[in-house]
Amino acid sequence: MSAVAPAAPSPARTTFSIILAVSLCHMLNDIMQSLLTSLYPLLKENYALDFVQIGLLTMAFQVTASMLQPAVGIVTDRWPMPFSLPVGMGSTFCGLILLAYAHSFPVLVFGACLIGFGSAVFHPEASRVARLASGGRHGFAQSMFQVGGNAGTAMGPLLAAFIVLPFGQTSLAWFSAIALIGMGILSWVGNWYAGEQRLSAGRPAASRALPLPGGKVAWALAVLVLLTTTKNVYLASLSSYFTFYTIEHFGLSVQQAQLMLFLFLGASAVGVFLGGPIGDRYGARFVIWLSILGVIPFTLILPYADLFWTGVLTVLIGLIFSSAFSAIVVFAQELVPGRVGLIAGIFFGFAFGAGGLGAAVLGLFADSHGIDFVYHICSYLPLLGILTILLPRLPGRH
C-alpha cells in the first residue's frame, strides 16, 4: 500500500474580530492621547505657558514613546508578552488622571510621560497581533489597526471642544472609563494571543532570511525612517499648532479651530484606511510613491490659502499624506522578516519621537518668528519625499 501523503496546511484565515478589537483599542488609546494636544489652548491659558513649553509637552509625550518603543519591540520579538497590552492601557489611565488634576507644569510633563509609556507598551505588541490575525492580508490588517488610532486622534478635538473645554480640565478624569474598557478588551485579546502562541509552539520558526543584501536593507530602512521623519514633523506642525494658526490667521474661536483640526485628522484616518488595501493590491512601494510625492503641491499652496481653501487643502493633505504610513510599516516588515515588534517600535516610536522633536523646534520658531513663518517653512518639508526613488523593489512584489 502506498503511504498517504500528509495534508497540505490550510492557508491562514483573517481573524477579523481580533483585528477589529485591536483597532478599537487603538482608537480608545489615541482618543486619550489626542486630548493632550487638543487641550493646548486651555492649558496655555490655565498655566500661562509659552509655545516652547507647549512644544516640550508634546516632546515629553512623544519622545518617551519613541525611546521606549524600539526597546519594547526588541524584547517582545524575543519574549512575546500577550498581557502587556492591558498594562500599557493602565499607564495611559494613570497619565490621564494626573493631567486632570495637575497643579503645575512639571506635573503636566510627568502625566504626558505616563501616556507616552502607555503608547510605547501598546503599539509594538498590538501591531504584532494585527499581523498575526491578518491571514496574509498584511496591508489591510495594518491599515485597520492604524485607522483606529487615527479615528481616535480625530475624535480627540471634538471631545475637547464639546466636553473638556466647557466643563474644565478636571473633566479629563471622565475619560478614564475609556481606559478601563480598553483594558478589558485587551485582556480578551491577550487570551487569544496566548492561545495562538501555544498552537504555534511546535511549528518551525518563521524564516528571518533577508530578501536583499544587508547593505541594501539597511539603506532602504534609512530611507523609510527619513520619509517617516519628514511626514511626521509636517503632521506635527498641523496637529500641535493648527488651532493657533487658524485662531491667529483667520480670527476663529477655539471651538471653531478645533473643528478645523477635526477635518484634518478625520481625513488622515480615511487616508490610513485606504493605504493598506491599495498596498495589498499594488504594492507598498507604489503607495509610498503616490502619498509622499502626491501631497507636495497642496502643502506648498497651504500657507497662501484663505479660510475655505485652508479647510479643503488640509483635508487633501491629511487624506494623501497619511496613506503612506501603513505602507511604510508593511514594507519595512518585509525588508526585515520576523522582527515585527522591532519594526513597529521603530516606526511607531520614531513617528512619535520625530513629531515631538519637530514640535519643540517649531515652538521656538513660533515664539520668535510667528505661526505664519512656521507654516511657510513646513510647506517645503515634503519635497524630501523625492528620496522614495531610492527604495528597492522586493523580490516577488509588485
* Residues 322-365 pLDDT 10s: 887 778 888 888 888 877 777 877 777 766 666 667 767 877 88
Residue 201 has what pLDDT? 63
Q: At what angle do helices 324-335 and 214-250 cross, to 10 degrees?
A: 160
287-302 mean pLDDT: 86
Q: Helix, strand or coil for residue 6?
A: coil
Residue 187 pLDDT grade (very low, low, confident, very high; cuts 50, 70, 90) = very high
Cα–Cα nearest to 320, from 389, 364, 270: 270
First to last CA, the chain: 45
Residue 344 has what pLDDT? 76
Is the pLDDT at 61 greater than 90? The verdict is no
Is the pLDDT at 134 greater than 80? The verdict is yes
Distance of alpha carbon 193 from alpha carbon 209, whole angstroms:
25
Is the pLDDT at 50 greater than 90? The verdict is no
Residue 3 pLDDT grade (very low, low, confident, very high; cuts 50, 70, 90) = very low
Q: At what angle do helices 324-335 and 138-159 cross, to 10 degrees?
A: 140
Residue 207 pLDDT grade (very low, low, confident, very high; cuts 50, 70, 90) = low
Cα–Cα nearest to 125, from 341, 351, 379: 341
Please name each of the domains of the chain with its CATH number.
Answer: 16-198+210-390 (1.20.1250.20)
Per residue in 232-269, pLDDT (tens digit) is 788 777 777 788 888 888 888 877 887 888 888 778 87
Cα–Cα nearest to 305, from 234, 363, 354, 242: 242
Is the pLDDT at 214 greater than 90? The verdict is no
Is the pLDDT at 29 greater than 60? The verdict is yes
pTM for the model stands at 0.68
Is the model more confident about 181 or about 210? Answer: 181
Is the model more confident about 74 or about 180? Answer: 180
Is the pLDDT at 40 greater than 50? The verdict is yes
Is the pLDDT at 218 greater than 70? The verdict is yes
Residue 209 pLDDT grade (very low, low, confident, very high; cuts 50, 70, 90) = low
Place of cell 478624569: 173
What nine digits make up the cell of 200? 504555534
Lowest mean pLDDT among 7-16, 136-145, 274-283: 7-16
Is the model more confident about 66 or about 102? Answer: 102
The dihedrals phi and psi of 295, each to the nearest 5 degrees, come to -85, -15
Distance of alpha carbon 394 from alpha carbon 398, whole angstroms:
8
Residue 338 has what pLDDT? 73
Is the pLDDT at 367 greater than 60? The verdict is yes
104-130 mean pLDDT: 88
Residues 6+ apart with CB under 8 A from 299: 234, 317, 378, 379, 380, 381, 382
Is the model more confident about 116 or about 394? Answer: 116
Is the pLDDT at 189 greater than 90? The verdict is yes
pLDDT-above-90 percentage for the chain: 11
Residue 13 has what pLDDT? 78
Residue type, position 341, single letter: G
Residue 273 has what pLDDT? 78
